[in-house]
């Protein structure tokens, strides 16, 4: 099929590359001319394992190309995905200016049947607005459908998530739209959930909010475990083996971050408010997530007493491993809070340092984890990159000024660290597991 993807950000690029890999002819659009010029040369603006290779191969096979022209994309494609950003406004509401702009531009360039699909995470009823906008600005009688097809890609494993999804959700209101999308996704052999457009839009916000709720639940539980001497890792395992609950997203830590959960929880609270429902549960999810950072900071203070002038080593800055993304990363907020109290920070992250340099001033970014630990009074594990699981702690012990370790992701075993001479503190556990 001929497909256009408007918006060559994270979701747009991954989806575009994967649709091309499935044998479709894909044209990716972005209004950032510099980004498009770079993409044409094979320079990818984000770090996502496997993405560069997929883009390069499909460009060579002439199944994937890049342009700044919506006109070119709309005229050559039957299915047009909208994958532009929907950032949060100050009050938490999603900013849909980008979506409206794209809808108007599509309208001006439609000359035959087109299926326009929302891929960006949008509030319920956006589909109706897109339909209304296209109908208003269209200059001819060309027919079109609007559909919703939310993405569930996780950063760091987005290609695998695209190619092997748990389910594909398509919200449609015509047989033609349904057939086109089922045809497009058929090769993935995944369950396809066909709904109306509003339900599909809600599935996305509901899924992300529910996952965020699972994380906040286990984080709240970690505080109870800590206060009672129980072990949150064992509690999570005991709960998660119940198939109705499930093991995943029950890892206690320093809170969720990233470009989706914080934004989507905020947006869902605002959408609910707007339609007259106060989503108290989600408000608590958000509050617990913020509190989790405060608990972590208190742990550090309990070990160091005064933060001012203490040298603190930080391992991990991205919001989770296998990505260079630092958007809403708890590590970044925690570093800023420590700096405000006068801490001297030495940090290392395998991928996120370039991005972190832009938002963190006065941090000494180090070439490896050991250099970060040199002379420090305390070591903080903030992101569970694999390479941090294999560190030589007897070497680190010798490098550090004081052997204090606060494990924000519960990846170390307390007895091993104690053996290496460390005072070890984790989240809601004495350190039972890696
Ligand atoms: C998420 C959704 O998983 C994905 O379906 C959606 O399309 C986009 O948002 P992503 O933001 O890439 O994906 O990250 P994810 O792996 O879901 O993790 C989000 C945050 O939750 C991270 O900060 C992670 O550290 C945290 N997390 C996750 C926990 O603290 N505990 C867990 O058990 C799981």
Q: Residue 394 — very low, low, confident or very high, per pLDDT cuts 50/70/90?
A: very high
- C-alpha count within 13 angstroms, C-beta hemisphere, residue 143: 4
Half-sphere exposure of 312 (CA within 13 A, CB side): 30
Which residue minimizes the CA distance to atom 14 of ligand 1?
A: 154
Q: How far is CA 421 from the centre of its chain?
A: 36
Pairing of strands 144-148, 25-29: unpaired
Pairing between β-strand 25-29 and β-strand 64-67 as defined by DSSP bridges: parallel
**Structure confidence at residue 241 (pLDDT):** 98
Q: Find out whether the beta carbon of 151 lies less than 6 Å from any atom of ligand 1.
A: yes
**Residue range 112-119: mean pLDDT, rounded:** 96
- Whole-number Cα distances in Å, 172 to 86, 111, 128, 175: 21, 21, 11, 8
Give all domains of the chain, ordered by start, each with its CATH number.
2-195 (3.40.50.720), 204-284 (1.10.1040.10), 292-425 (3.40.50.720)
The helix (H) or strand (E) run that includes residue 405 is strand 404-407
Pocket of ligand 1 contains residue 325 by CB under 6 Å: no
pLDDT tens digits for range 81-102: 999 998 888 888 889 999 999 9
Nearest atom in ligand 1 to the alpha carbon of residue 259 is: 11
Work out the pLDDT band at 431, boundaries 50, 70, 90.
Answer: low
Q: Is the whole-model pTM more than 0.75?
A: yes
The dihedral through the CA atoms of 277, 279, 280, 281 has a sign that is: positive
**Sign, CA torsion 261/264/269/272:** negative
List active site positions. Answer: 260
Q: Is the beta carbon of 403 within 6 A of some atom in ligand 1? A: no
Cβ proximity of 153 and 181 under 8 Å:
no
The C-alpha atoms of residue 307 and residue 345 are separated, in whole angstroms, by 11
Give 303-330 pLDDT, tens digit per residue.
999 999 999 999 999 999 988 999 999 9
Could you give the CA distance from residue 83 to residue 148 in angstroms, rounded to a whole number? 11
- Supply the residue whose CA is at minimum distance from atom 7 of ligand 1: 152
The answer on pLDDT for 257 being more than 60 is yes
Ligand 1 atom nearest to CA at 151 = 7
Are the beta carbons of 296 and 312 closer than 8 angstroms?
no
- Write the pLDDT tens digit of every residue in 267-310: 999 999 999 999 999 999 999 999 999 999 999 999 999 999 99
When pLDDT is cut at 50, 70 and 90, the band that residue 106 belongs to is very high
The closest alpha carbon to 86, from 9, 170, 200, 196, belongs to 9
Residue 394: partners with Cβ closer than 8 Å, 6 or more residues away: 420, 421
Residue nearest to atom 2 of ligand 1 (CA): 154
Which residue carries 């980004």 as its tokens? 35
**Cβ contact 170:182 at 8 Å:** yes
Q: How far away, in angstroms, is 289 Cα from ligand 1 center?
A: 13
What does the alpha-carbon distance between residue 108 and residue 370 come to, in Å, rounded to a whole number?
57
Q: Where does residue 246 fall: left (phi above 0), alpha (psi -120 to 50 degrees), or beta otherwise? A: left
Report phi then psi at 105, rounded to 5. -65, -40
- Ligand 1 within 6 A of CB of 261: yes
Atom 22 of ligand 1, residue of closest alpha carbon = 256
**How deeply is 342 buried, as exposed, middle or buried, from its count of CB atoms within 10 A (0-12, 13-18, 19+)?**
exposed
The minimum-distance atom of ligand 1 relative to the CA of 207 is 5
Give the residue from 393, 219, 371 showing the smallest Cα distance to 294.
219
Q: Which two tokens stand for residue 74?
A: 């709309």
Q: Which pLDDT score is estimated for 87?
A: 87
> From ligand 1's centre to the CA of 284, what distance in Å?
18
249 ligand 1 Cβ < 6 A: yes
Question: Which of 261, 289, 316 to mutate to test ligand 1, by most ligand atoms within 8 A of the CB atom?
Answer: 261
pLDDT of amino acid 282: 98
Dist. CA 236 → ligand 1 center (Å): 17
Write down the mean pLDDT value for the chain.
95
Tens-place pLDDT, residues 122-162: 888 899 999 999 999 999 999 999 999 999 999 889 999 99
Element (H, E) at 365: strand 364-365
Over residues 323-362, the pLDDT tens digits come to: 899 999 999 999 999 999 999 999 999 999 999 999 999 9
Q: Are strands 311-315 and 378-381 parallel, antiparallel or unpaired?
A: parallel
pLDDT at 434 over 50: no
Residue with structure tokens 């505080």? 223
Say yes or no: CB of residue 327 within 6 Å of ligand 1: no
Q: Which atom of ligand 1 is nearest to the CA of 248?
A: 33
Rounded distance between C-alpha atoms, residue 48 and residue 161, angstroms: 12
């Amino acid at each position: 099929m001929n497909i256009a993807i408007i918006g060559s950000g994270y979701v747009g690029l991954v989806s575009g590359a994967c649709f091309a890999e499935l044998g479709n002819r894909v044209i990716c659009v972005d209004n950032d001319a510099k980004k498009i010029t770079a993409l044409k040369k094979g320079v990818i603006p984000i770090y996502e394992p496997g993405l560069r290779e997929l883009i390069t191969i499909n460009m060579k096979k002439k199944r994937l190309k890049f342009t700044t022209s919506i006109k070119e994309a709309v005229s050559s494609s039957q299915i047009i995905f909208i994958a532009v950003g929907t950032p949060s406004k100050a009050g938490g509401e999603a900013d849909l200016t980008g979506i409206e702009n794209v809808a108007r531009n599509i309208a001006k360039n439609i000359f035959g049947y087109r299926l326009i699909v929302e891929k960006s995470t949008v509030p319920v009823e956006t589909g109706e607005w897109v339909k209304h906008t296209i109908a208003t600005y269209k200059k001819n009688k060309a027919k079109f459908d609007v559909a919703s097809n939310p993405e569930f890609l996780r950063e760091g494993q987005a290609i695998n998530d695209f190619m092997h999804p748990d389910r594909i959700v398509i919200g449609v209101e015509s047989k033609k739209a349904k057939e086109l999308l089922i045809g497009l996704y058929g090769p993935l052999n995944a369950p396809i959930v066909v709904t109306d457009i509003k339900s599909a839009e809600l599935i996305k916000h509901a899924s992300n909010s529910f996952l965020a709720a699972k994380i906040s639940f286990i984080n709240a539980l970690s505080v109870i475990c800590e206060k009672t001497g129980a072990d949150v890792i064992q509690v999570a395992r005991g709960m998660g083996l119940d198939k109705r609950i499930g093991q995943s997203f029950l890892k206690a830590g320093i809170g969720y971050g990233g470009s989706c959960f914080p934004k989507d929880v905020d947006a869902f609270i605002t959408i609910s408010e707007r339609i007259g429902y106060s989503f108290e549960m989600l408000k608590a999810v958000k509050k617990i997530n913020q509190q989790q950072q405060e608990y972590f900071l208190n742990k550090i203070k309990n070990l160091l007493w005064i933060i001012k002038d203490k040298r603190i080593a930080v391992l991990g800055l991205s919001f989770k491993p296998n990505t260079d993304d630092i958007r809403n990363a708890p590590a970044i907020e925690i570093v800023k809070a420590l700096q405000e109290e006068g801490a001297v920070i030495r940090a290392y992250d395998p991928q996120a340092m370039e991005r972190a340099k832009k938002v963190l001033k006065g941090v000494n970014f180090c070439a490896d984890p050991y250099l970060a630990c040199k002379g420090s009074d305390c070591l903080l594990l903030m992101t569970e990159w694999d390479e941090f699981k294999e560190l030589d702690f007897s070497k680190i012990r010798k490098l550090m000024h004081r052997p204090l370790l606060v494990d924000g992701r519960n990846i170390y075993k307390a007895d091993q660290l104690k053996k290496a001479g460390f005072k070890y503190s984790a989240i809601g556990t004495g350190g039972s597991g890696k």
